[in-house]
Amino acid sequence: MKLASKLPDVGTTIFTLMSALAAEHQAINLSQGFPDYPCDPDLLNALAEAARAGHNQYAPMAGLPALRDAIAAKLHAQHGLEFDPATEITVTAGATQALYTAIAAVLHPGDEAIVLDPSYDSYAPAIQAQGAKAVRIAMPAPDFRPDWALIARQITPRTRLILINNPNNPATSNLPAADLDALADLAEAHDLLVLADEVYEHLVFDGQPHRSVLAHSRLRDRSFAVYSFGKTFHATGWKVGYCVAPARLTNEFRKLHQFLVFAVNSPAQHALAAYLRLSQSWQSLPAFFQPRRDLLAAGLEAAGFRLIPSAATYFQLADYSAIRPDLEDVDFARWLTIEHKVASIPLSPFSEHGSRERIVRFCFAKQHATLEAALEKLKALG
């Protein structure tokens, strides 16, 4: 029996490949974006208490009401705006599921969606799986800023959706207010929906704010905004996130959500609801991560890398052209892992046609000791 693949050009993700290579060669893994330090003990205790209290059966499809209430309170604290937990907030099995569900809810075969490269690697396959076309538009290094005039020229009568990742992984950029205004102009002019991946909303540095589509008066009513508790609370393995959207969009989102996962891990939802009532630890994340960013940046520069400033996320982009200009980024990442025992992620898999820049990405969501050990190994490059 022949099987026609919906994703014939999709293989194993670069994250899986580089983490496996790091394990094989006993390298320090600064490639995949996961912390190597524990969650807050209060959050872990809340999880254990929820399980012991018997919260081990299905949660409501849209999410535990107490957690949706806590999310609404958090959003009010951030933006000073009201969001209806009953009709505008849905708890999801991580951000990737939320992104896929939003894409599947609004795109039909033959539709088009705009993706700004470098982009997170789940976007284009999710679009393609719906029989739609991902129109990928490059944001060149080192600024990674959208060219709104170029984007406007790529819009056709079939364009339904534009995706933004702000803060951007892997570009580590944080959009200024003018870019959200330009996005609103474009969305209104062409009646587009917006899908905003804002999972790194709290990881913004140097005193700069994060600007959400939820707080933009002209974007809120046409946007899905996606978030991740895994990124915020150092618990990526819990795979709990949420999607915020106006009621008419949430209604369509939930139609698919109920058949993709139905409900999300119940003890984790109870734990997160309790933790959010007790803590606003997300407010301290810039102060937590910025010293790690600065430690890694200083060491990479000493090793001969040229850095692209990291305004946000927990990643650092580094140009290695002064070290091994003869190697493409995938080959350099492999060489660095095997020969110098430090794993990174090449930039090219985040763009449609790869990348000619000699740039790799390092993760600094690590203990200081882990970063220091990696930098000690990289000294040999300098």
Looking at residue 96, its pLDDT comes to 97
Q: How far apart are the C-alpha atoms of 90 and 86, rounded to whole Å? A: 8
Asked if residue 92 lies in contact with residue 268, where contact means CB atoms within 8 angstroms, the answer is no
The model's pTM: 0.96
Give strand pairing partners of 363: 315
Asked if residue 367 lies in contact with residue 36, where contact means CB atoms within 8 angstroms, the answer is yes
Q: Which two tokens stand for residue 209?
A: 């704010």
Asked if residue 92 lies in contact with residue 104, where contact means CB atoms within 8 angstroms, the answer is no
Looking at residue 293, its pLDDT comes to 98
When the pLDDT of each residue in the chain is averaged and rounded to a whole number, the result is: 96
Q: Which residues contact 66 (CB under 8 A, 6 or more apart)?
A: 269, 270, 273
Q: Which of 298, 317, 314 is nearest to 358 (CA)?
A: 317
What is the Cα 378 distance to its own chain's centre?
27
Cα–Cα separations (whole angstroms), residue 29 to 154, 283, 289, 344: 38, 27, 17, 7
Q: Which residue has the higher pLDDT, 279 or 307?
A: 307
pLDDT range class, residue 325, cuts 50, 70, 90? very high
- Cβ neighbours, 10 Å, residue 373: 15
Structural domains in the chain plus CATH codes: 14-32+284-381 (3.90.1150.10), 54-279 (3.40.640.10)
The predicted-structure confidence for 230-244, as pLDDT tens digits, reads as follows 999 999 999 999 999
Asked if the model's pLDDT at residue 10 lies above 90, the reply is no
Looking at residue 214, its pLDDT comes to 98
| Helix extents (H) in the chain | 14-24, 41-52, 65-79, 85-88, 94-106, 123-129, 148-154, 177-190, 229-232, 247-260, 266-278, 285-302, 329-340, 368-378
Average pLDDT (55-83) is 97
Looking at residue 302, its pLDDT comes to 97
Q: Which of 276, 271, 267, 265 is nearest to 45 (CA)?
A: 271
Average pLDDT (129-154) is 96
Asked if the model's pLDDT at residue 142 lies above 80, the reply is yes
Q: What percent of the chain has pLDDT over 90?
A: 92
Looking at residue 382, its pLDDT comes to 72
Looking at residue 36, its pLDDT comes to 94
Cα–Cα separations (whole angstroms), residue 262 to 87, 106, 123, 254, 347: 16, 19, 22, 9, 35
